[in-house]
Amino acid sequence: MIKITIVSTKGGVGKTTLTANLGGILADSGYRVLLIDADPQPTLSSYYKLKYRANHGLTELLVNSSIDSVISQTDVEQLDIVLSDDPQGKLRDWIRDTVDGRVRLKYILSKCDTHYDFVLIDTQGAVGPLQDAAVAAADFMLSPIPPEILSAREFVRGTVAMIRRLEPMARLGAPIGPLRGVIYRQDRTIDARTITDELRKASFLPSKGAITILDTVVPNAVAYREAATHKIPVHRFERARKGPTASAFDTMQALARELIPNLPNLDVSVEEES
């Protein structure tokens, strides 16, 4: 089971959309995928339609280490989700004040490593105990980076600071995994390309190799917003309208292959949405 936490120290960069669509293409490729909405603002929880809603969600998962009663099923086959149910942010304080709070999620997920091939954890765009717990649980992290100078600078500054701050977690048996940055919502301007090139150079040295900027670039395309409106993965939405060579399909497939190079199967075969 591969655990990926989608993280950023800046809000509004596209973490939820990226989480939903990466999970969608992996599930449609035949993999068993669990999404975890670890954001008090439950955007991921409402991205997909549910065919089964569990009695509990993230709070029960963390506080009582319960798995069976917290897993809801989306209408995408093999794509399950743990819903966010902490609108007041009380879990933040619980994790902070509990001895094993920041490593609790890591050990809970180790109990279900035979049930899923992938776990994708969406996080809030703010530093805090809940984000720490999600980062500690991951094999590696993925961060969407809009190619804007302020977002790029915040990514390097904030992410490097986060990694250094959490390095002592290794002594608790939860070493912090590497981080993959993906250029997200890139337009066709020279400015965007320039920032992307500078970001690739700037991220490596300060992080001492802990941050890698992926070659795959997610373009700024309306299909991602329209797919979210229809509550379906973007590759289904665009393939249904433009055929199997649509850009969103190619992009998400390329992203999955780059993230997990040894992935044996990524051939999507699904009845398309109308």
The Cα–Cα gap between 25 and 237 comes to: 12
**Region for 178 from its dihedrals, namely left if φ exceeds 0, alpha if ψ lies in -120 to 50, beta otherwise:** beta
42 inside domain: yes
Query: Tell me: the pLDDT tens digits for 125-143?
Result: 778 899 999 999 999 999 9
Q: What is the CATH number of the domain that holds 126?
A: 3.40.50.300
Say if 268 falls within a structural domain: no
User: Which structure tokens are listed for 267?
Assistant: 């051939």
Residue 177 tokens read as 């995994």
Q: Can you tell me the distance from the alpha carbon of 22 to that of 234, in angstroms, rounded to the nearest whole number?
A: 9
Q: Is residue 100 assigned to a domain?
A: yes
Domain range for 115: 2-259
Q: What is the chain's alpha carbon radius of gyration, rounded to the nearest angstrom?
A: 18
* Predicted confidence pLDDT, tens digits, the chain (274 residues): 999 999 987 777 889 999 999 999 999 999 999 999 999 999 999 999 999 999 999 999 999 988 889 999 999 999 999 999 998 889 999 999 998 999 999 999 988 877 899 999 999 877 889 999 999 999 999 999 887 777 677 777 787 788 788 888 877 778 888 889 888 888 877 676 777 777 777 655 555 666 788 888 898 888 899 999 999 999 998 877 765 445 888 899 899 999 998 877 676 655 544 4
The average confidence (pLDDT) of the chain is: 85
Return the pLDDT at 264: 73
Considering the domain boundaries, does residue 94 fall inside one?
A: yes
Residue 272 counted as domain residue: no
- Is 273 inside a domain boundary? no
Strand partners, 123: 38
48 is a domain residue: yes
Asked whether residue 270 is domain-assigned, the answer is no
